[in-house]
Each structure stands twice: as structure tokens, then as C-alpha cells.
Structure 1
Amino acid sequence: MRRKEREITDTHQLQQILEECKVCRVAMQDKDGLYLVPLNFGYQYQDGKLTLYLHSSKEGRKISALSQNSSVCFEMDCSHKLVEGDVACAYSYEYQSIVGNGTAHIVDNKEEKKQALSILMRHMTEKAFEFTDSMADLVAVIKIEADSFSGKGHHL
């Protein structure tokens, strides 16, 4: 990271960013090139290990791309605020973000899939939901295990 003074390494601060962000952009590659898609997500963050859970249609470019190449990059950002200045060069922008790389897998195990959907819904709504087998069968669940990630923030 070029701007080391903006790096966030504190586990509690990283958890706060994960909690505040509601959209994760996932980049993948297929035979047609790079593909970037914004998705709602849920997560588990324990002992420095980050796992993201996303849901998707069972068909489409995203699922096809992940079946060809499971390597992904992801990004999420939040806490946006424009900081005004007297001249254009004095303007700035406050933010917090997490960027990382990982491996994506389609979750096949029904119990893991239902748990992942519950984690996602709890993150998005702060409510507990349970899923039946038939509900879980309607969607694909993507699990991204982060190989590496970093936090960054800029606050004036």
C-alpha cells in the first residue's frame, strides 16, 4: 500500500468497515474478459480470516465465470463524505474501504448454504432468518475465502 498512513490494520476497525458496507464488488475473469459485479453480502471474520457469502441466480455470466476460474478480487467502501475546500485542489474525500483477493466456490452443501443465506440476511437486515431446503434450492450461494485483504481509510 503506497499510503501507509491510511492503512487500517486494527481488527475492530476492519470489522466496523465490514459491518457498515452493504455492497461488495467482485471481479472475475472468463473467456470474454474481466467482469465486475456489485453484490450484497454477508461475512464471517474470525481470527483474521475473512469469508464472504453472496447469493446469485444459478445461471449467468457470474456462475459461468466462477466455474472457469475461481480466483476473484473484491472491494467494498463506505463512510463517504466530500470535504470542501476554497479551491479545487483543496477538496478531498473521506472514506473507508477493504480490498482483497480470494477463491470463490459455489456452495453445494444444503446446511452450509442455508447458514450462508442466514449470515447474508443478518448482515443486510439485522434480523434472523431461517431457510428451508426448498428456499435454498432457488439460488446459488458463492463463498469467497479471502487469501489476502487490506483496509484503508481517509479521514480529515
Structure 2
Amino acid sequence: MRRVDRAVTDNRQIQSIIEKAKVIHIGMIDNDRPYVVPMQYGFIFNEGKLTLYVHCAKKGRKLDIINKNSHVFIELETEAVIISGGEIPCEYGSEYASVMGDGTAVFVEDVKEKILGLQLLMKTQTGRDFEITEQMTKQVTVLRIDVPCVTAKSRAKV
């Protein structure tokens, strides 16, 4: 990270960023071309290790790509706010916080883990606990993204 003055290293602060953001961008490689999809997520963050859960239809481009190459890169950010520079364009900036990392996408087959992943997703997105049934898990694909190490960055308004 070039701007080490903006690095966030405290795990509580990193978890707060992950909780506030609601959309993750997942980067993949489709043959030799980049492909990025925004998705809603649920998560577990423990001792600097991030486990994400996303869900999608049972068929599609991202699943085809992950079947060929499970390596992904994730990025999420809180809503960016423009910092005005007045009449000087170079004085403008953004207030934001972001988390990024290399990960591996895994197809979740175990029903109990699928239920957990969908419960975490709903909790992250709505702040509420939901009962997820085995029947509900049959209608979607659940992916787990294991990110062993994340980097986080923040710029507060000055």
C-alpha cells in the first residue's frame, strides 16, 4: 500500500468497514480477460481472516469462471463522499474506507454451511436474523470466499 498513512490495521476497525459496506466486488479472470461482479454478502471476520458468503443462480458466467479458476480478488468500500476543493480541482478528494484481498472461491455443498452462509448474508444485509430452511438452499448456489489476509484503507474528511 502506497499511502501507509491511510492504512487500517486494527481488526475492530476493519470489521466495522466490512459491516458498513453492503456490496462486494469480486474480480476473476475469464481466460485472459478480467471480469468483475458486484454482489451482496455475509461474512465472518476472525483474527484478520475474512470468510465471505455470496449466493447466486445455479448457472451463469461467474460460476463457469470459478469452475475453471477459483482464485478471486475482493474489494468493498463504504459510500464515498466528495471532499470539496473549492475552485482548485487538485484539492478535491474522497472520504472513504475500503477492504481488499486475494481469495479462493469454493462451492458450498454442505447444507448446514449453506444455511449458515445465507443466514450471515441476510444478517449483514438487513441486520435481522432469518430462519433458512434446507428447501431454500436448493434454489441457489452458495459460494464461500476464503480471504486469509486483507488490507484496509481509510481517508477521513480533514
Matched, 1:95 2:111: no
SS at match of 1:72: strand
* Equivalent residue number for residue 28 of structure 2: 28
* Equivalent residue number for residue 69 of structure 2: 69
Matched, 1:113 2:106: no
Deviations 1:44-68 (A, max 9, x none): 0112211010011110001111111
Deviations 1:46-93 (A, max 9, x none): 122110100111100011111110100010011421111231111111
Matched, 1:81 2:86: no
Which TM-score applies when normalising by structure 1?
0.96
CA shift for structure 1 position 132: 1.2
- Unmatched tracts of structure 1, length 5 or more: none
Q: 1-side partners of 2:56 and 2:120: how far apart?
A: 15
Partners of 1:103 and 1:147 within 8 A in 2: no
CA shift for structure 1 position 148: 2.4
Segment drifting more, 44-53 vs 69-78: 44-53
Structure (1/2) with the larger strand percentage: 1
Identity %: 38
Matches within 5 A, 1:118-129: 118-129=119-130
* Equivalent residue number for residue 46 of structure 2: 46
Partners of 2:48 and 2:148 within 8 A in 1: no
* Equivalent residue number for residue 135 of structure 1: 136
Q: 1-side partners of 2:124 and 2:133: how far apart?
A: 19
CA RMSD of aligned residues (A): 1.0
CA shift for structure 1 position 19: 0.6
* Equivalent residue number for residue 55 of structure 1: 55
Matched, 1:10 2:36: no
SS at match of 2:130: coil
- 1:116 is matched by which residue type in structure 2? G
- 2:10 is matched by which residue type in structure 1? D
- Unmatched tracts of structure 2, length 5 or more: none
